[in-house]
Structure 1
Amino acid sequence: MHDYFIAIIQGIVEGLTEFLPVSSTGHLILSGALLGFTGEKADTFEIIIQLGAILAVAVIYWRRILGLLGLMKIPSGHEAGKERPKLNLLHIILACIPAMLLGCILHSFIKTYLFSPYTVLAGLVLGGIFMLVGQMRQAPVRAESIDQLSYRQAFTIGLFQCLSLWPGFSRSGATIAGGLLTGASYEAATNFSFLVAIPMMIAASGYELLKSYQTLTAADAGFFITGFLVAFVVALLAVITFLKLLEKLKLAPFAYYRFALAAIFLIYLLAQ
């Protein structure tokens, strides 16, 4: 039963934090440390529950995904002109290339030196600062909707996404704040961030799973399935809620939450 308790807790943590600008990796490292759940099995479990979170976003954006693949026509959000969507696969590819290339180059370094509670706390603080900068220095809006994003904006957002290779920085925080700095609206930056997350997470999770699939056993099937399902359901609810609240909340409350979390865990770690 203890294993299932861990599966539920970590699934909830993953589902709540994967697409919010608070860093799911950072939260999983910190919660794993609190639960004493570390090692190869924990690493593989994190990959499985991330796949659950990915599925949640794919469900929410299934029409847009099929449209990008040329399998469905997506009506434009601009009622007056009824324009066809301009977002295409090249936007997604341009946004993915920088972080994928840099991630491949720095993978060993990141795994060896950056996956610790203290580096995560640094990432939480630095990511929070960047989010505040994105909100306060938002460029004049040139893309109200995701279909108005230019290729240059997509690539620039991809460059900002490289910041999230530091655990604790937050992929969604980096891309949403980066999108604001390029002249995207909150709506456009957030939707693009979530869409780009799908190939990025599939690539990262697939790579890690190929390296650690040996740790998967039939005896742990229930444990992994529980975490996957919990992460899927919670992520589904979290993304829907976040999309509704972001225009009102902006990024600042999430940045302040990150600062508070970092301070609390720093005190906890120093007291050990």
Structure 2
Amino acid sequence: MMEMIIAIILGIVEGLTEFLPVSSTGHLILTGYWLGFTGERAKTFEIVIQLGSILAVVVMYRKRFVDLLSPNKQQGGLSLAHLILGMIPAVVAGFLLHGLIKTYLFSPYTVVIGLVIGGVLMIVADLKQRPPTSSSLDDLTLRQAFSIGLFQCLALWPGFSRSGATISGGVLLGTNHKTAAEFSFILAVPMMVAASGYDLLKSYQYLTVSDIPLFATGFLSAFFVALLAIVTFIKFIERVRLIPFAIYRFVLALFVWMVLF
């Protein structure tokens, strides 16, 4: 029973933080650490519930994905080329550095560092924002998509936040906050399916039939909470931008440092 409660808690944490610029990986590592849910089985569980959050994006942006995959798609606007260019930098970097990242960077200490540095980037993005040249997803250029992909590489450091890196990058590159956030969400789908699928193939031996209720509970919790989080965040980011999230990251990092170190 206790493990089911842990699954619900971690599912809620994942759903709330996956698409906010606060680092879902960092929150999962810290929450799992405090709940005593660690080890290879816990890492596999985290992979599965991340797929629940990704399913929420597919549901929310289903019309956009259908359009992207349609053979009759009209010229112009967001295309598969934007997603491919946005994926390339992090895919290459992740493939080359995967072993080093898993071995050396998944700890509360490295998460604290990522929280702080990512927060600084978010503040810089808000303060240095220039007049947007892209006010919707269909205004996004291929060059912007690739450059946002370069920023996404920063998220390979746990605690940095994939959405924090990509939204900050988008704002610095001339998109408004909403466009940067929506591209971050859509770009997350192929990125996280690929990354989670790769991790799951390497970790499937830690799964047993008896784990199905636990994993299903976490998956569904993450899915439903992520649906709510996406809708709320899109409305929120247009009004408050990134600095409040950066302040939250600094407070969390300080709290973690005081408690753990």
Asked if these proteins are the same fold (TM beyond 0.5), I'd say yes
> How many residues matched?
261
Determine if the alignment matches structure 1 residue 177 to structure 2 residue 168. yes
Shift of 1:72: 7.3
2:154 alignment partner AA:
L
**Long gaps (5+) in structure 2:** none
Higher mean Cα deviation, 94-103 or 181-190?
A: 181-190
2:53 alignment partner AA:
A
TM-score, normalised on structure 2?
0.98
Identity %: 61
Determine if the alignment matches structure 1 residue 227 to structure 2 residue 218. yes
- In structure 1, the partner of 2:260 is 269
- In structure 1, the partner of 2:54 is 54
- In structure 2, the partner of 1:69 is 69
| Cα pair 1:63 1:72 within 8 Å, conserved | no
- In structure 2, the partner of 1:37 is 37
2:82 alignment partner AA:
H
Distance 1:43 1:135, change over 3 A: same
Distance 1:35 1:98, change over 3 A: same
| Cα pair 1:66 1:72 within 8 Å, conserved | no
Output aligned runs, 1:113-262, within 5 Å.
Answer: 113-262=104-253
Distance 1:120 1:259, change over 3 A: same
**Long gaps (5+) in structure 1:** 75-83
- In structure 2, the partner of 1:87 is 78
Structure 1: how far apart are the matches of 2:162 and 2:255? 22
Structure 2: how far apart are the matches of 1:34 and 1:71? 48
Shift of 1:140: 2.4
- In structure 2, the partner of 1:79 is none
TM-score, normalised on structure 1?
0.94
Determine if the alignment matches structure 1 residue 7 to structure 2 residue 18. no
Distance 1:250 1:154, change over 3 A: same
Any idea what SS the aligned residue of 1:183 has?
coil
Structure 2: how far apart are the matches of 1:119 and 1:73? 43
2:196 alignment partner AA:
S
Shift of 1:188: 1.2
Shift of 1:139: 2.4
| CA deviation vs aligned residue, 1:37-57 (integer Å, no higher than 9, x gap) | 100110110011000000000
